[in-house]
Structure 1
């Protein structure tokens, strides 16, 4: 046999040929994985534009004709079709905005807020700023209807920053002035309205809105003067100008407020004849406009303004209409509640089917990946075995064996570390155990989680946490970083008290504990909506985490084990910790600690 027959097995070529072989196998695996991923994307991602447009048009037709129950159903179908949401941000946010408007008409402000929270993450992805402006405006209305004028003012100002047209900006300024009026800040309302009240700012999209807004601005300015006091003439001039414009609109609904303003004016300045005349006009306009709520309110004004005999007659009509309105609203609310329930049920069924399909595809892909990984491991092992066999057979000298051993040890020292050891153990585990077995599956997932925890903890637990006056802002940013397209997180009460005087160690512990809870719940529970609430009394700070996930009930033992570290952290600051997996609405964790 020639002397160099086994030249390729000389020790200086070990690493070179081994790396070539591994690179080839890794490339094949990468190509196979990429093809599978592209194939999956090809099947899951298709153009839904035509279907979304058709459904949206049906919804708008029902909405414009006042059939809000049918419109709600089709707007809901539209937003469900918008997958992925980033690709159809305009349609997704637009349909949610219409749903919010309908919900507010029926007085369901909680559900309206839930829909707006779903829309907010996609506002920056819309191509038309009107969607963001509308969303912020609807949120402002929601807070106004629930008597939170400060929040309403905040969102009106956000809407003003996003507004593009001069007309829209003018309308939002008028709405801000209206909130100031509700807060008793009449001078601030006057300061906003005086520069724009008499300007004729055109609505180029819907020209009929031009004079409606102008009349409304003068009406609001007149009311501001009226309540401010010492502006009798200015208030009357504004009311007259607003009425003059309103009479040209051929819109009885708009005239209700005009005549009611005169009723209030003459009531204050003791003119019973004109007070009665304007109360009657307001009532007649409400009847013509078929606005039952306004008709009842104007009847109340007429009862006050008219003589005793007529007031009795008006009172009988008033109480009969109130009873009738109460019954009709209950019926409408119950009917609409059924519609909301059915829309949620449809969504849940669609999600269940999607999840089932995704789970099947994921299991199939995992099986393919496990098989391919096993093939790679066996191939590498076989190659190494053959290599070592030939090498030992044809290289009998001890010094060369020692050299090979040293070379392999040097390579091993470079390539092998704690993480690769863990991965190797998992691979060995998959070869020797059936993953369909619940115990093996749980152990396998636990080992994967340990690897993830090591890498995550190295990064997160060694990062710097700033505990200065920006602590609250940093904590909010950390929590918000867990928000995704599938998870909305609501933060309540974080800024209701100062963190500045709280002990530094306690602030760090709170930061780490919330980080750990969010990591574990996102991994184990996979919720779509979560809430973190902060409260403080004289002695303690209370923090509560809740979500709508349900998987945690099945993984209770695993969760209890993983949250042991969280409990230990809280005990170091003399706090108490508990969690509830039996909540009907989802999962709940709460803890408190002394200030």
Structure 2
């Protein structure tokens, strides 16, 4: 049932059905491996890549032989390619190819798939020649074993390979993939093929392919939505019939034994169960609504902040630059240079706003990105000194805490730039086995303590308290600004 739902694009429904299957698994074996593998596929299609990798690795643990491990290991490699972890993908795929069982005729389909993915990984890594050899080898093997469906993926990979260097070849491979996908009624691959055809063709054909893309995309959305409703109705009717049969059996047992007390106990149990279910549903809905409201509020706050930045930071500069360009003689070199400087100033402000609202990389590059963010506030008027950031083992710190640290420091630097006008800023990091401490100090004009909240710093305190940390302000007018941040690892 879960597989059928995935084929029809109902990945959330598939996960629900897989969850229903879990109680029937009594030990770790090929069936538990299959369930975890399907969980991984569903999460991959929902772009939940970290969750997908987790389930694929769980599937690997449950496999009892090397053949069973091939599918989840290949799926992990595909995810690594999507996450641009090409070395990890190559390592996983080459470990599969090292297994001689793939040379057996019955496993040539799998071998072709692994070779094709390996070639694509080398291409994406920046080794196009080696990648092309493997991509062609994978396609030839798929032609040999008549793997019609697999040839779609090979042609799509080759279409992407040639998309920038040889648009005509890219077009031909994409067209072949489209023809096979159409023959096999494979909608997702047809859409992917059309996306290449749209980018590789002239305006006349481009419009034709674009119309096909829109039509197919709209159709599949409607079909999959209808499937979800139909599948839900089938499950409901099946459950209803099962419940009615169970009820009849209980009634026969009650009539047979005629035990009134047992009847009352059953009724009491059912009522208690229903009450418990209602409570659980209400609690789940409450937390879902609360999380949804918090996400909406966060998005609203972000949009408001960006809008204010654009209004305060850019609107007047853009208007003044327009007036300057309309009223000055631009053929004059000094006036022209002045205009270029004004445009460059606007460009740097736009980059600053973009940087403040970018997603945060909490992986291995976190320390470098954090240091780079702080360093961007260096200027002719302000010197930013960063101490001991490399001494903190950031891999031991939770991702949520790293995001909070990044945003709080970012808000401190923005506040310094807008209000403190400090000439010297020092950010010092310290770490021990249990806590991380960050000391921020600047020599700006400071503020009265009772006006700190009004300066917008309440949001920083809320972020730190949310991760069970502490934040202490120390400031006086004309005596600079200090902040002590402490949080558990």
1:413-424 superposed matches below 5 A: none
Relative distance call for 1:337 and 1:203 in structure 2 (3 A) is farther
1:307 matched to 2:202: yes
Q: CA RMSD in A?
A: 3.8
Is the Cα contact below 8 Å between 2:56 and 2:72 reproduced in 1?
A: yes
- Whether 2:159 is the aligned partner of 1:263: answer yes
- Between the aligned partners of 1:529 and 1:132, the Cα distance in structure 2 is 31
Separation in 1, partners of 2:155, 2:36: 31
Of residues 20, 29, 40, the one that matches 1:118 is 20
Aligned: 1:182 with 2:75: no
Deviation per residue, 1:405-446 (Å, 9 max, x gap):
xxxxxxxxxxxxxxxxxxxxxxxxxxxxxxx9x9xx9xxx9x
The alpha carbon displacement at 1:358 in A equals 5.3
Change (3 A) 1:318 1:165: same
* 3-state SS, counterpart of residue 195 of structure 1: helix
Which structure has the greater CA radius of gyration? 1
Q: 1:525 Cα shift?
A: 5.0
Please show how residues 256-335 of structure 1 align to structure 2 within 5 Å. 256-268=152-164, 270-335=165-230
Give, in angstroms, the shift of residue 242 of structure 1: 0.7
User: Number of aligned pairs?
Assistant: 286
Contact 1:200–1:214 under 8 Å retained in 2: no
Change (3 A) 1:309 1:186: same
| CA–CA distance in structure 2, aligned partners of residues 279 and 177 of structure 1 | 23
Could you tell me which residue of structure 2 aligns to residue 161 of structure 1?
Answer: 61
Q: Partner of 1:171 in structure 2?
A: 71
Q: Distance in 2 between matches of 1:172 and 1:244?
A: 24
Maintained 8 Å contact 1:252/1:288: no
Q: Does 1:233 align with 2:233?
A: no
Task: State the distance in 2 between where 1:198 and 1:307 align.
Answer: 44
Alignment partners' CA distance in 2, 1:109 and 1:322: 17
How far did residue 179 of structure 1 move? Answer: 2.1
Q: Deviations over 1:538-571 (max 9, x none)?
A: xxxxxxxxxxxxxxxxxxxxxxxxxxxxxxxxxx
* CA distance 1:106–1:162, change in 2 (3 Å): same
| Superposed displacement of residue 228, structure 1 | 2.0
Change (3 A) 1:154 1:323: closer
What is the TM-score normalised by the length of structure 2?
Answer: 0.51
Tell me: CA distance 1:327–1:365, structure 2 relative to 1, closer, same or farther (3 Å): closer
Q: How far is 1:330 from its partner? A: 4.0
2:109 to 187, 212, 226: 212
Tell me, what secondary structure is at the counterpart of 2:162?
helix
Q: Judging changes above 3 Å, is the alpha-carbon distance between structure 1 residues 266 and 221 closer, same or farther for their aligned structure 2 residues?
A: same
Residues 1:105 and 2:7 are matched in the alignment? yes
- Residue 361 of structure 1, CA deviation: 6.2
> Judging changes above 3 Å, is the alpha-carbon distance between structure 1 residues 272 and 238 closer, same or farther for their aligned structure 2 residues?
same
Q: What CA deviation, in whole Å up to 9, does each residue of 1:112-145 have, x standing for no partner?
A: 333333332332258xx22111111122222223
Closer, same or farther in 2 for the Cα pair 1:317/1:175, shift >3 Å? closer
1:254–1:351 CA distance, 2 compared to 1 (3 A)? same
CA distance in 2, matches of 1:201, 1:134: 20
Deviation at 1:287, TM superposition (A): 2.4
SS of the counterpart of 1:348? helix
Q: Is the 8 A contact 1:253 1:289 kept in 2?
A: yes
Query: In 2, distance between residues paired with 1:329 and 1:172?
Result: 26
Whether the 8 Å CA contact 2:159–2:174 is kept in 1: the answer is: yes
**SS of 1:124's equivalent?**
coil
**How far has the Cα of 1:200 moved from its partner?**
4.9
Which position in structure 2 is the counterpart of 1:44? none
Q: 1:203 to 1:362 in 2, by over 3 A?
A: farther
Structure 1 residue 158: Cα displacement: 1.5
Alignment pair present for 1:341 and 2:236: yes
Q: Do structure 1's residue 248 and structure 2's residue 144 form an aligned pair?
A: yes
**Closer, same or farther in 2 for the Cα pair 1:152/1:359, shift >3 Å?**
farther
State how far apart, in whole Å, the 1-side matches of 2:203 and 2:140 are: 32
Query: Which residue is 2:92 aligned to?
Result: 192
Unmatched segments (≥5 aa) in structure 1: 1-98, 368-435, 446-485, 488-519, 536-594
Query: Aligned pair in 2 of structure 1 residues 303, 281: CA closer, same or farther (>3 Å)?
Result: same
Structure 2 residue runs of 5 or longer lacking an equivalent are 288-467, 469-489
